[in-house]
Amino acid sequence: MVTTVITYEQPVNELIRICLRLEHCFQQAEYYMQGDSVWDTRNVLTAINEILNIIDRPDLKTKLTQECQRHHENLEKLQHSPNIDITKLQHILDNLDTVRSQLHKTAGKFAQKLRENKFLEQIRQQLASGEAYAFDTPAYHCWLAQPVNTRIQQLSSWIKELNLIQTASRLLLQLTRQSNVAKPQTAVAGFYEQTLDSQASWQLIRVLIPTNVSAYPEISVGRHRLCIRMLTPSNNEKATQTDADVNFSLACCML
């Protein structure tokens, strides 16, 4: 019998945090792109706006390029190691090289065309204050009344401008998640503690808990130590640490 789990992830550095936020927004956009209602379209645009807010930092392209380079150099050292799938490794190296090259060729900030789009700029200004209401943005209200195929075609062209940032962040998350296998652990009386190697480049903490366990983790990670408190969920009261032992799986990812 296969037990389903809920995966909780805690980023250890800012770049992985950004990649996780981007992943969430792209998943939201992809989900609502399947719908044909005005509210689906609004949710896609909200996701696009959030992505543009996340990537609106001058150092992001450099950080992603450097991270691709670092992963490429580390993985390249494994080419002569025993029991290595050379074909799979070369495929990963090629992907890293392609993304790194595309990032290097990109001039200025990501998605500059979307930033210069006056129609999107008007919507983004309204979203910054909470919501783009019809009485504030009649042009947006008019566009939302267009046939669904017209709206989806336009949304697809805007999302296409974000393809590179999605590919880069997705690749880094994939490599990070696959860098370690989750192993069984027990939070005794709802508490788990582990010493971390301060010299290691930790990227992401992953906690997997079976769905039939009524607890969720509060993850605290520093340079030297990882602490996990298992809390009992409550809809009305403040969550408290459970007194029961909680079996879970843990992966401390580094690459």
One DSSP character per residue, 76-101 reads HGGGGSTT--HHHHHHHHHHHHHHHH
pLDDT tens column, 155-205: 999 999 999 999 999 999 999 999 899 999 999 999 999 999 888 889 999
Phi and psi for 56 in degrees, rounded to 5?
Answer: -80, 65
Triad 31, 177, 94: Cα angle to 5°? 90
Task: Decide which of 153 and 233 is more confident.
Answer: 153
Six token digits for residue 192? 């788990």
**Which among 195, 216, 199 is positioned nearest to 207, based on CA atoms?**
216
C-alpha 103: how far from its chain's center? 18
pLDDT tens column, 127-140: 887 777 778 789 88
Position 104, amino acid: H
Six token digits for residue 241? 């640490």
Task: Return the pLDDT at 236.
Answer: 79
Poorest-confidence range of 78-82, 112-116, 213-217? 78-82
Q: What domains are defined for the chain?
A: 13-175 (1.10.3900.10), 181-254 (2.60.440.10)
